Amino acid sequence: MRADRLYLLWGLIVLALSYTIPYLVLRDCKSLLLYLFWLILTVAHLIVSLTYIGRWREWTD
Amino acid sequence: MDRLTASLLTLALYLIIGTVIAFISRKIGIKTTADYYVAGYKLSGILAAISYAATTYSAFMMVGLVGLTYKSGVGAFGFEITYLLSTIFLLSYVAPKVWRLARERKWVSPAEMVADLYGIKHLAILVAVIYLIALIPYASAQLIAIGRTVKGMTGSDIYLIGILIGVIAALIWTALSGMWSLASTDFYQGLWMILAALGFIIWLFSWGSEGGALWDGFERLSASDLLGMSSIWSIGTFIAYTIPWMFFAVTNPQVVQKIYTPRDEKALRRLVTLFTLFGLTYTVIVTMAGLMGRALSEAGKLPIIKIGDEVTPTLLAHAPLPLTVFVFTSIVAAAMTTMDAIVLTLSSAISRDVYQRTLGGTDRKAILIGRISILALLIVLSLVAYLRIGFIVDLSVLASALLLPLAPVTLIGWFLGERAKTKPIRYAAVLSLVVGFLTGLAWALTHGARKSLVTPIAGLPSTLFILLVSTLIMLLAILLSEVRKS
């Protein structure tokens, strides 16, 4: 249950970052930093999500 | 070998292999509608994953998104990656629950899932009608893409032949043994799509780097606003475009149905893992192609391309012929996989939710009705694609927006369990769907389908407004139910 809540919180933070950082911080970016930001965010989200789904338990009950 | 011959040979090879695969998958016995529409809940993880990815990623990727990135810059990558971020999250969080419920309650079509969640038998018919209105234009757009791609790759005026190729292949690959032939051919086409994309980006990088044009172009790009959030991507536009796609995994029946199909927990986990890897790779390749194309235009190696959809064909005009026809065929495959899955899911809505629910026919008859409805749907799609009925074609961009009210209704239904069947919540589900869907449709009729997406309602991006209204109706009903209970 705790893992579920933590993952829910993580997911919401990732989505919030995906909308806010490009407009608040990287709006006028002159390099590929914005592209890299989204790419790194996705890779991080992928790693956390794959760890989370490796621990799916409820559904086998 | 000239371009026409190479194109026709590659298309023939693509069609023959796909048809052989579809016929091999026919060996698997089909007795029930569950066998036909969800492969008897027995798909392997790898088949389910690539089928999910191939269904999700349409011709828009290699044509539309390359062009959108070329014209609007890195913001287009953000638009597509926000979809992926949200889908990874939704699949990781809810897929096990949905997968388990689908087995327990014998769900075959997503419309019957919604009806079952709220305990309203005929809600499935309403949902099926919403699917038909929202998805027929989207599937027609895929058929148009097949016609145009065949025309473009051969360099001959054979748009109609392209449409006929698409319809006949879709009929065989889908109707033959439902989800089995669909997933098998999707797997093959998905591999074609990703290999072609990889070949395309490797060639583009190598060709663009000659003489340092690519690096010079990227230097020049930094002087423009294309590496940040360009003026095209105002916050309102970004929200309006991304909201429907964020909930795509929940609202679009052609992908919801795929969650039912993995044979066990391990296969479901593999679906999520492989799909996300496919999605990330494909998105990076496609958006990088758009950026590289723009950099090459800035460096003077390519002319400035004014129409977004012309970017990929312009780039491919410089590629070796085998790669050109390979990539063009991958665009046909991307459109085909999306169209096939929509046709199969709409057929399940017609045979299970309309026919069996109202007339109570046997599974055998329902499969027959399903096959007939696949043929009927393909005839309708080909008519729309051939005549290019303006408003219907335009509606294709709104498919996910029109399906948006299903997001709160489905998510709340999944999480409330039996509580969703209490009176105020059941009524709210119907009201939420009707109000949300009609708001989207009315906005499209008033402002035109394309413009309605970026025209605010009450100062909010239109899709956010639709989502909020549908969600509020559901939340108020939950509150009312709590008050009544206490």
Provide the 10 A C-beta neighbour count for residue B451.
13
pLDDT band at B178 (very low <50, low <70, confident <90, very high): very high
CA distances from B404 to B60, B349, B407, B409 (A): 20, 18, 5, 9
B234 interfaces chain A, CB cutoff of 8 Å: no
User: Comparing C-alpha atoms, which of B15, B16, B17, B39 is closest to residue B28?
Assistant: B39
| Cβ A43 vs Cβ A50: under 8 Å | no
Residue A43 has pLDDT above 80, yes or no: yes
Confidence at residue B27, expressed as pLDDT on a 0 to 100 scale: 63
Please report, as a single letter, which amino acid is at residue B21.
Answer: I
What is the C-alpha separation between B237 and B56, in angstroms, rounded?
22
When pLDDT is cut at 50, 70 and 90, the band that residue B396 belongs to is low
Residues B7 and B328: beta-carbon distance below 8 Å: yes
| A-chain residues near B74 (CB < 8 A) | 29, 32, 34-35, 38
Question: pLDDT value at position B29?
Answer: 73
Confidence of residue B151 (pLDDT cuts 50, 70, 90): confident
Mutation target for A interface from B72, B79, B82: give the one with most A CBs within 10 A: B82
Given pLDDT bands bounded at 50, 70 and 90, which one contains residue B391? low
Lowest mean pLDDT among B181-185, B265-269, B300-304, B450-454: B450-454
Q: What is the spatial distance between Cα B229 and Cα B74, in angstroms, rounded to a whole number?
A: 7
The CA–CA distances, whole Å, from A41 to A11, A17, B85 equal 11, 9, 9
Model pLDDT, residue B394? 66
Q: Is B360 exposed, middle or buried (0-12, 13-18, 19+ CB in 10 A)?
A: exposed
Two tokens at A60? 């086998």
The answer on pLDDT for A61 being more than 60 is no
Q: What is the pLDDT of residue B380?
A: 93
- Residue B339 · residue B374 · CB < 8 Å: no
Distances in whole angstroms, Cα of residue B305 to Cα of each of B115, B191, B296? 48, 30, 11
Chain B nearest-CA distance from A38, in A, is 7
Mean pLDDT, range B458-483, rounded to an integer: 94
Nearest CA in chain A to B104: A59
Q: What percent of chain B has pLDDT over 70?
A: 98
Amino acid B448: pLDDT: 83
Q: How many CB pairs under 8 A join A and B?
A: 102
> A6 by DSSP, 3-state: which?
helix
pLDDT bin (cut points 50, 70, 90) of residue B398 is confident
* CA geometry: angle A43, B338, B352, nearest 5 deg: 115
Q: Do B237 and B68 touch, CB atoms closer than 8 A? A: no
Whether residue A56 and residue B269 make contact (CB cut-off 8 A), yes or no, is: yes
Taken as a whole, chain B contains a residue count of: 486
- Chain B residues with CB under 8 Å of A27 CB are 228-229
Contact A34 B222 (CB under 8 A): no
The answer to whether the Cβ–Cβ distance between B92 and A46 falls below 8 Å is no
**Among B225, B196, B410, CA closest to A28:** B225
Element (H, E) at B248: helix B248-251
Which residues have CB under 8 Å from B71's CB, separation 6+?
B232, B294, B308
Q: What is the pLDDT of residue B121?
A: 86
Q: What is the pLDDT of residues B416-448, one digit of tens each?
A: 988 999 989 999 999 999 999 999 999 988 988
Give the mean model confidence (pLDDT) for residues B325-333. Answer: 95
* B23-29: average pLDDT: 78
Radius of gyration over every alpha carbon of chain A, rounded to an integer in angstroms: 15
Quickly state the pLDDT bin for B309 (edges 50, 70, 90): confident
CB contact under 8 A, B88 and A46: yes
pLDDT at B293 exceeding the cut of 50: yes
Contacts of B229 in chain A (CB under 8 A): 22-23, 26-27, 34
Question: B359 CB contacts (<8 Å, ≥6 apart)?
Answer: none
- In terms of Cα–Cα distance, which of B406, B401, B332, B373 is closest to B54? B332
Q: Is the CB of residue B281 less than 8 Å away from at least one CB of chain A?
A: no
DSSP sequence for A38-53:
HHHHHHHHHHHHHHHH
Q: What are phi and psi of A44, to 5 degrees?
A: -60, -45
pLDDT score at B96: 93
Q: How far apart are CA B403 and CA B412, in angstroms?
A: 15
Report pLDDT for B28: 65
The pLDDT tens digits for B261-282 are 999 999 999 999 999 999 999 9
- Ranges B240-254, B386-400, B465-479: which has the least confidence: B386-400
CB < 8 Å to B222, chain A:
30-31
Residue B87, pLDDT > 50, answer: yes
The answer to whether B262 and B46 have CB atoms below 8 angstroms apart is: no
Provide the 10 A C-beta neighbour count for residue A27.
16
User: What pLDDT does A22 receive?
Assistant: 96
Q: What are phi and psi of B448, to 5 degrees?
A: 90, 140
Q: Where are the beta strands (DSSP E) in B12-77?
A: none
What average pLDDT does this structure show over B25-31? 76
Of B221-230, B248-257, B284-293, B383-392, the poorest mean pLDDT is in: B383-392
Measured CA to CA, the distance from residue B83 to residue B77 in angstroms comes to 10
3-state secondary structure of B34: helix
Mean residue pLDDT across chain B: 92
B3-396 has which fold?
Sodium/glucose cotransporter (1.20.1730)
- Detail the DSSP E strand segments found in chain A: none
